[in-house]
Amino acid sequence: MYDFKDNPLACEGIIGDGCGGGRWFFVEDETLYAHDPLSKENRMLLQNIKKAKKISKSKCIITIECEDETIEFDLSKMQKK
């Protein structure tokens, strides 16, 4: 099981805060995933994330801070901004 708590490469989607409430979002092996704690399933959202350092979520946007760039992934459109 993936350790989400206190991990800079994982963040929780807060229920009522837009898209993805109740799910965990995390980067592993250069890939962004959404984890559903009820079904225990992971869904791949975005690949080719190089040197990720931290992720956070606000409303429908997941922000991934990398060494060389900052990536914004829009959950409502399911695409990189």
Which pTM does this prediction carry? 0.92
Summarised one tens digit per residue, pLDDT across range 27-72 is 999 999 999 999 999 999 999 999 999 999 999 999 999 999 999 9
Q: Is residue 59 part of a domain?
A: yes
Q: Is residue 2 part of a domain?
A: no
Q: State which residues form the domain around 40.
A: 10-80
How many structural domains comprise the chain?
1
Question: Looking at residue 56, which CATH number applies to its domain?
Answer: 2.40.10
Contact 20, 13 (CB under 8 A): yes
Q: Is residue 1 part of a domain?
A: no
Strand order in the sheet with 52-58: 52-58, 61-66, 70-74, 79-80
Confidence of residue 2 (pLDDT cuts 50, 70, 90): low
